[in-house]
Amino acid sequence: MKIAILVAVLGERDAVGTDAREMAAALARRGHDVRLFATAGAGAEPLDAIDEVVADPRAVLIYHFAFGWPPGIDVLRRARCRRVVRYHNVTPPEFFAPWSDEYERSCRAGRDEIATIATLNCDSYLCASPFNADDFLATGVARERIAVLAPFNRLDRLVETPAALPVLDERQSGATWLAVGRLAPNKAHLDLFEAFACYLDRCEADSRLLVVGSEDMRLERYNAALRERVHALRLESHIHWLRDVDESALKATYLSADALVSLSRHEGFCVPLAEAMALGVPVVALDAGAQAWTLCGAGLVWDSAEPALISASIERLRADPALRSELRERGFARVANEFSPQRLEQRLADAIEALP
């Protein structure tokens, strides 16, 4: 079967790019003729070459929808083949309103496109989580056309990659908090810094916070606000900023952490949670977006980012080996049952075969 996978930008390591690439590999293993199309990205064909595929009624188009992108809508409209929308979620513009007009406009356009895509009456809507599925259910898309399929990932590779020893050697006596994700307003790093400062002041003063993620130049106002908050809370010497880390260093940061802390207020899935579970790292997270579903009991999930609550969670995890073990076992089971590549590949194959 001919399958065209369409994504605006085919990144090497971001969640959407990884999902698209691994999905293509999985379908190719099943014997399908898979081609990737994007405006940019290694291994992708240009957008104008997609018409020869989507004109074939027996072919399948899978469109990865993560933000507003009118050319993607155009392809969906003119496609004569069976159409599948892979929905990663679009961050609500309200998060960006104080920081970036450009981001706010882009996210608003993306949210508006949800209704547009719903009216295109596609054959299937593959959502990364039930939280994402709610967006299309709210627009009136029939429930039987909506399916949940967690994002394809590289957890196997991360588990098998050797950890970078220099990073592991930096471990110290105090607690090590870990935050993974780009620096964006919805990720709530400001809340994280408040919670971490509380931990330093009340629990263990020689602790550190590893922040893995890149700054976005278009969010300079937000970046400056982060720096000011770090200075005001006197966290400079306690925060380690890790940018452009490779898989080996990323694994080492996970292994050296006492917990992954995610106080993000909006997540369509949150791959770092799955990575932490795959590596046996306990998770403390906010019950926002899809995070509670992704963890499914394999972490401490709170409905509030109150600093004392988050700090007490880390303190308890540090002092309670049985709790750590329980959460670790749950995490391993969750990954094996729901997010392993083999399981995802089978579910994707089932979804493709079920197309009319």
Partner 1 sequence: MSKHSSVEKSDALIERVRGEIRAQAATLRERPLLEREMPPAARDERIDRARLAYRIGDLTDAHHQAFVEQAFHALLKRAPTPAETDAHLALLAAGATKAEALGNLRWSPEGRAIGAHVAGLAPRYAMAKLRRVPLLGYLVDVPLNLAALPALARHQRASDAMFAAGNAAAAQSDRAFVARIEALDARNAQALEHQSREQATLAHELREQDARAHQRIDDLHAFAHELAVARDALTRTLGEVGDSLRSRIETLEGTSANMIGRFDELEFIRQRFYAINHWTHHLEQAFARIEGAATQNNATRRQRALQLAEAEVVGDAARAARNAAWAKAFRADAVDAAQVFVCASGVDWSHELASLGCRVVHVDADAGAARANGIDVESADAFEALRRCADASLDGIAALSASHLVLASPLLDWLGEAHRALRPGAALFLADAREACVIADEWLRRALPPSASALASWSPALFTAAGFVDARRIDAADGTPAWLMRRAAA
Q: Give the single-character DSSP code of 40.
A: B
Stretch that binds partner 1, among 104-112, 134-142, 150-158, 312-320 (CB under 8 A): 312-320
Q: Which of 311, 331, 345, 348 touches partner 1 (CB under 8 A)?
A: 311
Residues 184/219, Cβ–Cβ less than 8 Å: yes
By beta-carbon proximity to partner 1, the closer residue of 137 and 312 is 312
Number of residues that bind partner 1 (CB under 8 A): 29
Tell me the C-alpha distance between 95 and 25, whole Å.
34
**Rounded-to-integer distance, Cα 34 and Cα 53, Å:** 10
Task: Please name every residue paired with 3 in a beta bridge, in sequence order, or none if there are none.
Answer: 34, 60
Which window, 70-78, 114-122, 272-280, 311-319, contacts partner 1 (CB under 8 A)? 311-319
Q: Are 258 and 317 in contact (CB under 8 A)?
A: yes
Q: At a CB cut-off of 8 Å and minimum separation 6, what does 1 contact?
A: 32, 33, 58, 59, 60, 352
Q: At what angle do helices 321-334 and 271-278 cross, to 10 degrees?
A: 110
Strand ranges for 75-131 from DSSP E: 82-87, 124-127
Among positions 180-209, residues that touch partner 1 (CB under 8 A) are 198, 200-206, 208
CB nearer to partner 1: pick between 218 and 330: 330
Residues 81-110 that bind partner 1 (CB under 8 A): none
From residue 262 to residue 301, the character string flagging contacts with partner 1 as x (rule: CB under 8 A) and all else as - is: -----------------------------------x--x-
Cβ proximity of 89 and 67 under 8 Å:
no
Nearest to 154 by CA among 333, 321, 279, 284: 279
Contact flag: residue 46 with partner 1 (CB under 8 A): no
Q: Please work out, in degrees rounded to the nearest 5, the angle formed at the alpha carbon of residue 183 by the alpha carbons of 98 and 94.
A: 30
Binding mask 210-239 for partner 1 (x = CB under 8 A): ----------------------x-x--xx-
Q: In whole angstroms, how close is the CB of 144 to partner 1 at the nearest point?
A: 30
338 binds partner 1 (CB under 8 A): no
In the complex, what is the shortest distance from the CB of residue 147 to partner 1, in angstroms, rounded to a whole number?
26
Footprint on this chain of partner 1 (rule: CB under 8 A): 172, 174, 198, 200-206, 208, 232, 234, 237-238, 297, 300, 306, 308-309, 311-313, 315-316, 320, 323, 326, 330
